Structure 1
């Protein structure tokens, strides 16, 4: 998480409708990513640890999470290059 004293850029911005979204994702994709992220981290299947007993839905959720993450990460890297401070 970005702290106020940290110089790291935030990965969210406010879109044209006033919604907080991850760079490179739509508001719907951001909602889906955050839902999947909390599901994968906070709700392992049947209370088991993440290394056991995954079903097809869980694997599909992980795949979708990865797709959204890669889309965001690519846009984030582009944004960082475009907004990098220039040295005189």
Structure 2
């Protein structure tokens, strides 16, 4: 269930060895993602440039976007699943 009284839920979990792993990615993919991660300003520029075909993205930029897309899709699915579970937890409420 999502606790909506505080900050947004974390986008990662901690594995049995104590490593932070992004939802939807493996430990190795998380490490690769963090290595390739540009600053936020560059992220916006990279995404816009690729979408608008204004420039050719380098292999690192393309791989970063692939990993980000994979993580984002898993994150959205997790949020939807969590919200559905939260709705079921409220089944005692009579919506008449």
* Fold equivalence (TM over 0.5): yes
- Report the Cα distance in structure 1 between the residues aligned to 2:26 and 2:19, rounded to whole angstroms: 9
- Quote the RMSD (CA, aligned, Å): 2.6
Deviation at 1:19, TM superposition (A): 1.7
Structure 2: 5+ residue stretches without partners: 1-5, 50-55, 92-96
Corresponding residue for residue 79 of structure 2: 80
TM-score (norm 2): 0.62
Structure 1: 5+ residue stretches without partners: 45-49
- Report the Cα distance in structure 1 between the residues aligned to 2:39 and 2:76, rounded to whole angstroms: 24
Q: Give the length in aligned residue pairs.
A: 72
Deviation at 1:20, TM superposition (A): 1.1
Deviation at 1:10, TM superposition (A): 0.5
Deviation at 1:15, TM superposition (A): 2.4
TM-score (norm 1): 0.67
Q: Which stretches of structure 1, 4 residues or more, deviate above 3 A after TM superposition?
A: none
